[in-house]
Structure 1
């Protein structure tokens, strides 16, 4: 159970980081 919740937390963290990275890329692309 704890391992599964840890994986879910890691997955949501990766999705959050990916979303931030894609938004940063969009910002830098609009400036260039």
Structure 2
């Protein structure tokens, strides 16, 4: 049970990092 929660949180963290990176990239591209 704990493995499922840990894997879920790890995936959410990775997803958040990817979304944050894409958002910052598009934000910088929009400023130029």
Q: Which runs of 4+ in 1 moved over 3 A?
A: none
SS of residue in 2 equivalent to 1:17: helix
* Structure 1 residue 8, shift from structure 2 partner: 0.2
Please give the per-residue CA displacement for 1:4-29, whole angstroms capped at 9, x wherever unaligned.
00000000000000000000001000
Aligned to 1:24: 26
Which 5+ residue runs of structure 1 have no aligned equivalent? none
Which 5+ residue runs of structure 2 have no aligned equivalent? none
Superposition TM-score, scaled by structure 1 size:
0.90
Superposition TM-score, scaled by structure 2 size:
0.90
Count of aligned pairs between the two proteins? 30
